[in-house]
Amino acid sequence: MTTHYPSTIIALIKNLSRLPGIGEKTAERLAMHILKVPLKEASGLAESILKVKEKVRLCNKCFGLSDSEVCKICSDVNREQNVLCVVEQPGDLVALEKSGAFKGLYHVLQGVLSPMEGVGPDDIRIRELEKRISEERIKEVVIATGTNVEGEATACYIAEVLGILPVKVTRIASGVPIGGDLKYVDQVTLRKAMETRHVF
Amino acid sequence: MTTHYPSTIIALIKNLSRLPGIGEKTAERLAMHILKVPLKEASGLAESILKVKEKVRLCNKCFGLSDSEVCKICSDVNREQNVLCVVEQPGDLVALEKSGAFKGLYHVLQGVLSPMEGVGPDDIRIRELEKRISEERIKEVVIATGTNVEGEATACYIAEVLGILPVKVTRIASGVPIGGDLKYVDQVTLRKAMETRHVF
């Protein structure tokens, strides 16, 4: 350990190196940077950390990240109000938003079904999804959970549960990534792409 | 920009990405991590940032980093009290301490002479060094400034200034790094290593 610094600096280095991907060397460099910058910049960083912990909560409607009761997307009247995209985590929502591919509302499950880890349907926001579909008169639910085993299982389960409701349930497509070279694509993906081929 | 997050998260990402070597993607990942960790860990980080800015100052004696008037090294009576090692920056002091090669006291110049950037002898702590040599009855001054142009010039200047004082002035050795392969060592270093060769 770098015990050759004053104790306040050692404490900062220790706290910084708890962040993911920040080793002790990087933490040391960051601490030296923080020492050098104007007080305003450093306290701005500290305060934004505290503020995020204080303010950020889950949106009451979609369970995405929000700093108010209802998030920006849910309260945006310009978005399609009767299409819901179901994702696993807030990060997936952000990825879809960045792509600009979806203009409806989201529903963040806050997890995936995983019997191995004891996560059942009542541990993720599936009941809330059902409730929203009836209450908000949703016409289509796009299931955009991951394409790994848990994501697929969750998608299947949701499709089944929603089967009795008057709503169209769709699944985002799987296949060869755009710009991908066929010889580098794994066999399962290729098989899926072949199975779900469509008329050109 | 990742405008798809609540504004408090955007502010945190922006502040984190001001840190050196932290791009926007990494800042986003760090922000998500901070959101997930217990409040105690996040506020610990925020507080250690503020504390460093509040507490850390320059040691009254050596001008190294300290969180008290006189730093740990200067107040350590077990260290050799009459040998001073002159370094450019606090980071150099830490590097030497890590090596364990030096057991005396330090003097941090807080810079190097650089006429190009308008840094003269009165802009770095050379006067304070002269004062310490007489007051603390220093017997040897080891000049450990860098081996680049500015560092060498500063070393020469200090050696000249101290020439009139009853003190032994030495310079850390330059040469081939240990474990270094001769064919990868630059020509200037090789020439220096040859010039300063010693009896085996």
At A52-79, the pLDDT tens digits run 999 999 999 999 999 999 999 999 999 9
Q: Do A4 and B97 touch (CB under 8 A)?
A: yes
Mean pLDDT of A184-194: 84
ipTM of the complex in this document: 0.80
Mutate which of A1, A3, A12 to disrupt the B interface (most B C-beta within 10 Å)? Answer: A12
Q: Rounded to an integer, what distance in angstroms lies between the CA atom of residue B146 and that of residue B134?
A: 25
**What is the pLDDT at residue A1?**
52
Is there a contact between A152 and A159 (Cβ–Cβ < 8 Å)?
no
- Count of A-B CB contacts under 8 Å: 152
Q: Is B91 on the interface with A (CB under 8 A)?
A: yes
Low-confidence winner among A10-24, A117-131, A183-197 (lowest mean pLDDT)? A183-197
Sign of CA dihedral A182, A187, A192, A195: positive
Domain boundaries, chain B: 7-55, 79-174
User: Checking DSSP bridges between strand B57-58 and strand B65-66, what pairing results, if any?
Assistant: antiparallel
Q: How far is B114 from chain A (nearest CA, A)?
A: 20
Residues 6+ apart with CB under 8 A from A91: B32
The whole-chain average pLDDT of chain A stands at 91
- Same topology, domains B7-55 and B79-174? Answer is no
Name every chain B residue with its beta carbon within 8 A of the beta carbon of A8: 48, 51-52, 55-56, 67
**Across A30-47, average pLDDT:** 94
Side-chain half-sphere of B102: how many Cα atoms within 13 Å?
26
Residue A75 at interface with chain B, using a CB cutoff of 8 Å: no
- If contacts are CB pairs under 8 Å, which of residues 31-50 in chain A contact chain B? 31-35, 39, 41-50
**pLDDT (average), residues A147-168:** 92
pLDDT value at B177 more than 90:
no
Kind of pairing, strands B140-143 and B83-87?
Answer: parallel
- Domain B79-174 in this protein, CATH class: alpha beta
A192 in contact with B, Cβ within 8 Å: no
Phi, psi for A39 (deg, rounded to 5): -55, -40
What's the rounded Cα separation, in Å, for the pair A61 and A71? 8
Contact yes or no for B173/B195 (Cβ under 8 A)? no
Q: Which helix (H) or strand (E) holds A86?
A: strand A83-87
Please name which of B176, B170, B175, B115 lies closest in space to residue B145, comparing C-alpha atoms.
B170
**Token couple for B118:** 């308008």
**Residue B179 touches chain A, beta carbons under 8 Å:** no
pLDDT at B40 over 90: yes
Enumerate helices (H) and strands (E) in chain A, giving the number of each: 7, 6
- The whole-number pLDDT of residue B3 equals 74
**Is A17 an 8 Å CB contact of chain B?**
no
Alpha helix stretches (DSSP H) within chain A? 7-16, 24-36, 39-55, 90-99, 126-135, 149-162, 187-195
Is the pLDDT assigned to residue B1 strictly greater than 60?
Answer: no
pLDDT grade for B194, boundaries at 50, 70 and 90: confident
Q: Name the more confident of B199 and B147.
A: B147
pLDDT tens string B123-148: 999 999 999 998 999 999 999 999 88
Contacts of B14 in chain A (CB under 8 A): 48
Quick one: pLDDT band at residue B107, thresholds 50, 70, 90?
A: very high
The predicted-structure confidence for A74-132, as pLDDT tens digits, reads as follows 999 999 999 999 999 998 998 888 888 899 999 999 999 998 999 999 999 999 999 99
B143 beta partners: B86, B171
Instruction: Please tell me the predicted confidence (pLDDT) of residue B195.
Output: 83
Q: What is the largest CA-CA distance in chain A?
A: 69
What's the pLDDT score for residue B111? Answer: 92
Burial of A153 (0-12, 13-18, 19+ CB in 10 A): middle
**CATH architecture entry for A7-55:** Orthogonal Bundle (1.10)
Residues with Cβ < 8 Å from A49, sequence gap 6 or more? Answer: B12, B34, B42, B43, B45, B46, B49
Residue A2's pLDDT band, with cuts at 50, 70 and 90, is low
- A43: nearest CA in chain B? B50
Q: Do B34 and A26 touch (CB under 8 A)?
A: no
Average pLDDT, chain B: 91
* Average pLDDT score over residue span A20-47: 94
Q: What is the 3-state secondary structure (H, E, C) of chain B?
A: CCCCCCHHHHHHHHHHCCCCCCCHHHHHHHHHHHHHCCHHHHHHHHHHHHHHHHHCEECCCCCCEECCCCCCCCCCCCCCCCEEEEECCHHHHHHHHHHCCCCCEEEECCCCCEHHHCECCCCCCHHHHHHHHHHCCCCEEEECCCCCHHHHHHHHHHHHHHCCCCCEEEECCCCCCCCCCHHHCCHHHHHHHHHCCCCC
Predicted TM-score (pTM) of the model is: 0.79
Q: Residue A169 forms beta bridges with which residues? A: A141
What one-letter code names the amino acid at A180? G
Q: Specify the residue for token string 């541990």.
A: A123
